[in-house]
Amino acid sequence: MLEKTSYFKYRTLIREIERQLLTTFHKIDELMLINQARVLDAFRAEQVDETCFYESTGYGYHDLGRQKLDNLYARVFGAEAGLVRPQFVSGTHAIACCLYGVLEPGSRLVSLTGRPYDTLQKALGLFSSGKGGLHDQNISYAEVDLTAALDQETLDHILAEKAQVVLIQRSRGYAQRRALTMADIADLVLAVKKRQPEAIIFVDNCYGEFVEEREPCHGGADLVAGSLIKNPGAGLAAGGGYVVGRADLVERAAWRLTAPGLGAGIGAMGTVKRLIFQGLFLAPHQVGQALKGIVLAAALFERLGYSVEPSPKEQRGDIVQAISLGSPELLKLFCCAVQAASPVDSHLTPQASPMPGYDHKIIMAAGTFVQGASSEFSADGPLRPPYTAFLQGGLTYEHCKLALAEVLAALKIQLY
């Protein structure tokens, strides 16, 4: 059957590059084992059993499975407390609940990783006159970009004035910068705490879970949030988000999600708990599969002369691979090929269109079982120079290889 696929045509090239990546792939295998052990230990410590999966309805009072799920995430991510809910409609929603929950009127928010990604800018009202943003609560905002290196002088300047919350975005979003590693995050945390020990350090962990052996709370972060349809859901969670960190801060985020005084003690989970539990258990393996797929993509496109970030053997902070294609036509061809190689909606053609929270048209290839699930093999990018395709996810490495071969076939006029 391989003879009927584009993989057969590019098999020699792909196998040659795989041989060059053997050491990198071995490191990913070791990472999967270490993270799987941590997750398994947490499941055993929480004594997860069949009752954890039972449906809850109405207010969801006394849902013991929900409580164990919160505790499980706290253990896995090295935190005091956790909040895992399908009621979070996205990672941006979970992040906004954290920031609006812990920021107080008259306080100051500082981003150390430059301008946040597009949807969070809109959620916080950072650069618009719309109502409901930070300005309405008299909360000031400042930013510097320390993703290239920790500049002590720049940090001194931005923190000369008190910051209640310091924001670190682990992944690149649509920015032309590298994702942060855990070493980067730990260095930033230490540098901030030396200057302002009381500052709350919040990390947007989207796309970064299980990419390394440690998570942001292990490196000293106070509060962390992410999406269940990215890494920790492993393609099984159909929606939702999570918050982990200091118990008092997690509760303040819960007040924003539900209502003050209700917090984490309310919220029916329906029938989704089993898939959220199971997704977390499978996440270390699935993230490893995705890492192998995007490492292969980086090596392939670097060989073909394209600018890739990160490079194939570079330490990664997330599961996103940026490939700068140079033209809108190539970006569209790339995404259409990814869509055509998907298990769902392969017969559809992606079209660039406006998306809520973005200033440019976005083309998205996401033939996924869960709508918009970045844990699954997908690609997207804004139609703006340098016309970068952001490739992410992959439930299986085998699918990543087959899909990348389809992309090579779609671009063959430009490549050969």
Residue 372 in this model has a pLDDT that exceeds 70: yes
Find the mean pLDDT for residues 189-193: 98
- Return the minimum-mean-pLDDT range out of 1-5, 244-248, 328-332, 384-388: 1-5
- Average pLDDT of 240-256? 98
> In the structure, what pLDDT confidence band is assigned to residue 129 with cuts at 50, 70 and 90?
low
Name the band, by pLDDT with cuts 50, 70 and 90, for residue 128. low
pTM for the full predicted model: 0.94
Which pLDDT belongs to residue 152? Answer: 95
Asked if 256 and 109 touch (Cβ cutoff 8 Å), the reply is no
> Residue 134 — very low, low, confident or very high, per pLDDT cuts 50/70/90?
confident
- State the Cα–Cα distance between residues 111 and 412, nearest whole angstrom: 41
The domain made up of 53-271 has a fold known as Aspartate Aminotransferase; domain 2 (3.40.640)
pLDDT at residue 174, as a whole number:
75
pLDDT at 130: 62
Q: Average pLDDT of 283-293?
A: 98
Domains 2-36+281-415 and 53-271 alike in fold: no
- Find out whether 254 and 46 touch, Cβ atoms under 8 Å: no
Question: Mean pLDDT of all residues in the chain?
Answer: 93
The residue ranges of every structural domain in the chain are: 2-36+281-415, 53-271
What's the rounded mean pLDDT across residues 138-156? 94
Query: Which pLDDT belongs to residue 6?
Result: 87
Q: Which CATH class is domain 2-36+281-415?
A: alpha beta
What is residue 122's predicted lDDT score, i.e. its pLDDT? Answer: 82
Q: Looking at the predicted structure, is the pLDDT value of residue 273 above 70?
A: yes
